[in-house]
């Protein structure tokens, strides 16, 4: 097999299935596991990914409004690699190269006719289904991997299911800071499993835009930042900009210091095996009296009240 993965979550699924060595090409965003970074890059963004959240968002929206793709498939690299399979997604055209673009690229190939495996997860169960479908298509075993992942989910669920109402905090998960966007799809589900109550976003539905008036009216107990594509340091920088808004200081979560930054790029935004890590991060944040998995400082940080954001 010669596999090209055009989305980080698919690369991580392949690694979980023991197929890292079969990957001959990757997307520009695939960076885990680390050994994958020496594989040829088969995609690139059509916009400058540097700058503020507002600047990046405006560039992406300009492309979308012009009916243009956000990412480019390097057909010449695909031709050289002669893959047998290509993994891509049809979930979000902003997150990664679109299925239609991959289909067009494959149609232009002359030396190979790879099978396209397209993933479209919306809830946690869909990720398990995707892992099973990839395993079946590539004829490898997945029962042990799925059992291990589900067992970790079960641990969190079992330890939080009997929490009293007063012990379940209201949570705002922020997927983009300017303009504000709440986290949808699998995130509200993970929040519930971790012992929280998600205020915005609907399980299985795309992430909704969020007005400041809605955030202040809800006044969440906890605010967790997990911007799409941003690591921990960049998330902190973007979130700190919100301290300039007069509404920010009045939020209960700010006053109590329950503001958290996460590495959304590595965890929450990737619909693969590390969503279980994401669940454990949420559990650590929301219920440190119960959970200590060791992600603090690597996967998340807390903004201390003394910072006076």
Q: Would 125 be classed as within a structural domain?
A: no
In a domain, 143, yes or no: no
Domain final position from 120, 155, 184: 120
Does some domain include residue 127? no
Rounded to two decimals, what is the model's pTM? 0.90
Which pLDDT score is estimated for 305?
59
Residue 48: strand pairing partners? none
pLDDT at position 72: 84
Number of independent structural domains in the chain: 2
Indicate whether 233 belongs to any domain. Answer: yes
Residue that is written with structure tokens 């799409």 in the block = 228
Give the pLDDT confidence score for residue 280 in this predicted structure: 98
pLDDT for 240 beyond 60: yes
Indicate if 175 and 261 belong to the same structural domain.
yes
pLDDT at residue 59, as a whole number: 61
Is the pLDDT at 252 greater than 90? The verdict is yes
Per residue in 23-64, pLDDT (tens digit) is 999 999 999 999 999 999 999 876 556 667 776 666 656 554
Least confident of 163-167, 208-212, 301-305: 301-305
| 221 and 109 part of one domain | no
pLDDT at 96: 61
Closest CA to 284 of 196, 179, 177: 196
Same domain, 232 and 105: no
Structural domain for 285, as ranges: 164-307
Whether 277 and 224 map to the same domain: the answer is yes
Single residue among 120, 139, 156 that ends a domain in this structure: 120
- Could you tell me if 297 and 191 lie in one domain? yes
Residue at which a domain ends, from 68, 102, 120: 120
Report yes or no on 101 lying in a domain: yes
| Whole-angstrom distance, CA of residue 135 vs CA of residue 147 | 14
Q: Token digits for 170? A: 């209201």
Average pLDDT, the chain: 89
| CA pair distance 256, 259, nearest whole angstrom | 8
Q: What gap in Å lies between CA 304 and CA 179, rounded to an integer?
A: 24
Q: Which of 103-117, 268-282, 288-302 has the lowest mean pLDDT?
A: 103-117
274 vs 66: which has the higher pLDDT: 274
| Cβ-contact 49, 19 below 8 angstroms | no
Q: What's the whole-number mean pLDDT along residues 147-159?
A: 97
């Amino acid at each position: 097999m010669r596999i090209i993965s055009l989305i980080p979550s698919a690369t991580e699924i392949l690694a979980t299935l023991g197929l890292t060595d079969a990957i001959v090409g990757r997307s520009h965003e695939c960076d885990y596991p680390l050994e994958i970074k020496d594989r040829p890059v088969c995609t690139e963004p059509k916009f400058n990914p540097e700058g503020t959240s507002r600047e990046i968002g405006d560039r992406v929206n300009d492309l979308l409004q012009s009916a243009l793709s956000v990412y480019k498939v390097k057909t010449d690299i695909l031709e050289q690699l002669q893959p047998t399979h290509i993994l891509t997604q049809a979930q979000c055209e902003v997150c990664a190269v679109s299925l239609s673009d991959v289909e067009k690229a494959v149609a232009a190939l002359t030396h190979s006719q790879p099978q396209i495996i397209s993933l479209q997860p919306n809830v946690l169960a869909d990720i398990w289904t995707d892992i099973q479908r990839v395993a079946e298509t590539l004829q490898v075993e997945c029962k042990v991997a799925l059992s291990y992942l589900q067992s970790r989910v079960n641990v969190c669920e079992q330890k939080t299911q009997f929490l009293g109402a007063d012990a379940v905090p209201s949570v705002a998960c922020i997927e983009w800071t300017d303009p504000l966007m709440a986290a949808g799809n699998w995130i509200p589900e993970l929040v519930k499993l971790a012992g929280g109550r998600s205020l915005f976003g609907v399980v299985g539905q795309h992430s909704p835009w969020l007005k400041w008036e809605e955030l202040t009216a809800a006044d969440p107990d906890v605010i967790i930042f997990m911007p799409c594509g941003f690591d921990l340091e960049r998330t902190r920088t973007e979130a700190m900009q919100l301290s300039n808004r007069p509404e920010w200081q009045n939020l209960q979560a700010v006053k109590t210091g329950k503001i958290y930054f996460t590495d959304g790029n590595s965890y929450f935004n990737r619909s693969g095996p590390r969503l279980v890590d994401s669940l454990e991060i949420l559990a650590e944040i929301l219920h440190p009296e119960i959970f200590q998995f060791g992600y603090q400082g690597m996967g998340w940080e807390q903004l201390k009240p003394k910072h006076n954001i």
